[in-house]
Amino acid sequence: MDLETRVALVGRHTREVLTTDEVRTLFEREARPKAYIGFEPSGKLTLGHLVTSQKMRDLQDAGCELTVFLADWHAWINDKLGGSLERIAASGRYMEHAFTALGVDPARAHYRWAHELTGRSDYWARVIRIAKATSLARTKRAMTILGRSEEESTLDTAKLFYPAMQAADIFELPVDLAYAGVDQRRAHMLAREVAHHYGWPVPVAVHTPLISSLKGGGRMDPEALGVERKMSKSDPTGAILLPSPPAEVQSRIGGAFCPAKEVEGNPVVELVQFVVFPREGRLEIPRAPKHGGPLAFETAESFNEAWTKGQIHPQDLKSATASALSRIMEPVGRYFEQHPGSAPAEF
């Protein structure tokens, strides 16, 4: 695979790459750059992870060595699953199966746990160095990476460790490229800043969009301290969990927030843009002849144009999107059927 194809694979369907020139330089320097994405094991994956898993596959196809970091200590600090490390571990084991079901090649993915790092004194020395180079105000601004505002009165002191730990993970693994949803941007920016401060290798940062809650509403601007609208397993009424049967997908998408002609904050449109087109390469909308006949779009741009002009009825879009998502998730359901016990009802 030539250099520009590898660079394009890393950058496609992203919200931000810091920077494309750095990606190119990285591939010129390293035959197999080390890439990573970190997760708090905190329950089942959602449809939003279809975006994440697609980029993980892109990184693998571009020739990166991919580390999937299961941040059990971070989930403990962030009070996930009641702070039970046993439940967090069970969730992490499920996540390994879920990403395999979503097409992430297990032979080219290295699953690592935070507890592998936290038992080393060098790791905590790195955390302290990062904290020493970071003001308290800067740390508090980064608290949005936990899904919390800096002013929450319930924050305990342990949560102040989190931003420095997340930055330290990048250097201690170590990795050349840090990937996450755009809600983790501040952690990556912190890592890049302290790298410049200490003369450490500066990690490339890659960010993909977030999928909105099916209920709509709320904010989705991490830089404005708002990601309340994100599809989240913590609010299952606004999400579709993996695995889910086609009937559940149809029902949830059928009841989703989908204002006509609107793109911003429209979860159904986002699913088309960020999941259906990247996975299937087209969108087909069956319609009766009396309603204009079937439609087919080969690009997200042509779909957006027709949608914003009001040429597609929301119910037709919901039906087509649900059908596409059911096809995309069919191998996920089949995988879990073949691996009983890998997707517990609860953790």
At 124-143, the pLDDT tens digits run 999 999 999 999 999 988 98
Return the higher-pLDDT residue of 189 and 227: 189
3-state SS, residue 46: strand
Strands lying side by side in the sheet with 34-39: 16-18, 204-208, 177-181, 34-39, 65-70, 109-113
Average pLDDT for the chain: 93
3-state SS, residue 281: coil
d(C-alpha 111, C-alpha 20), whole Å: 26
Residue type, 255: G
How many separate helices (H) and strands (E) can be counted in the chain?
A: 15, 8
Roughly what angle, to the nearest 10 degrees, separates helices 121-132 and 185-198? 90
Mean pLDDT along residues 251-271: 96
pLDDT at 224 (0 to 100):
46
The model's pLDDT over 304-344, given as tens digits with 9 standing for 90+, comes to 999 999 999 999 999 999 999 999 999 999 999 999 989 88
d(C-alpha 297, C-alpha 61), whole Å: 26
Q: Is the pLDDT of residue 228 over 80?
A: no
Q: What are phi and psi of 35, to 5 degrees?
A: -110, 155
Decide: residue 310, CB within 10 A, 0-12 exposed, 13-18 middle, 19+ buried. exposed
- Given a contact cutoff of 8 angstroms between Cβ atoms, the answer to whether 309 and 261 are in contact is yes
pLDDT at 118 (0 to 100):
97
Q: Return the sign of the alpha-carbon dihedral for residues 158, 163, 166, 167.
A: negative
Q: Is the pLDDT of residue 16 over 90?
A: yes
pLDDT at 152 (0 to 100):
63
The CATH fold of domain 226-338: Tyrosyl-Transfer RNA Synthetase (1.10.240)
Q: Is the pLDDT of residue 40 over 90?
A: yes
**Which residue bears the tokens 């087109």?**
277
Return the higher-pLDDT residue of 94 and 224: 94
Question: Hey, where are the domains in the chain?
Answer: 3-208, 226-338
Mean pLDDT along residues 39-63: 96
Q: Is the pLDDT of residue 240 over 90?
A: yes
Confidence of residue 225 (pLDDT cuts 50, 70, 90): very low
Q: Is the peptide bond before 139 cis (omega within 30 degrees of 0)?
A: no
d(C-alpha 317, C-alpha 188), whole Å: 36
Q: Is the pLDDT of residue 226 over 60?
A: no
The CATH fold of domain 3-208: Rossmann fold (3.40.50)
CB atoms near residue 167 (< 10 Å): 31
Q: Is the peptide bond before 243 cis (omega within 30 degrees of 0)?
A: yes
Mean pLDDT along residues 120-125: 98
d(C-alpha 139, C-alpha 144), whole Å: 10
